[in-house]
Amino acid sequence: MEKLDCTVELMSKAELYGMLEKMAEQNSKNSRSKYRPGEKITSLDEMAQQEFIYHIEKVYHAGWFLSWQIKTAEHAIRAGTIKKAIRLTNEEYYKPEADAAYKKWLSEEVK
């Protein structure tokens, strides 16, 4: 089997950890939701019709929130913490400044 030439072997541990930290930081900056909160959900029926919901500023899939107990869902609806999740358009999701930052990050050399 042919051995791959890997530059990671030539890096010190400090350099490798620095590179990984930088990549993790950039990934967290670039990770954003493809959904935005919509109007509040006012009933269990309305909630059951959704594929995704917002609950306390986080998106959840129906597979997760439909397994709630009825009292838990009812309490969250009354508290007003559940909203419809509206899928963003490509124009809303991809902003020019985000693309420029990503291209800059890709062009930087790992030292």
Measure Cα distances from 111 to 12, 18, 20 in Å.
11, 10, 12
Taking the C-alpha atoms of residue 9 and residue 95, their distance in angstroms, rounded to an integer, is 37
Q: DSSP secondary-structure letter at 60?
A: E
Place of tokens 């597979």: 63
pLDDT digits (tens, 9 = 90+) for 5-48: 555 456 676 776 677 667 666 655 556 788 989 999 999 999 99
Q: Which of 9-13, 49-53, 61-65, 91-95 has the lowest mean pLDDT?
A: 9-13
pTM for the whole structure: 0.56
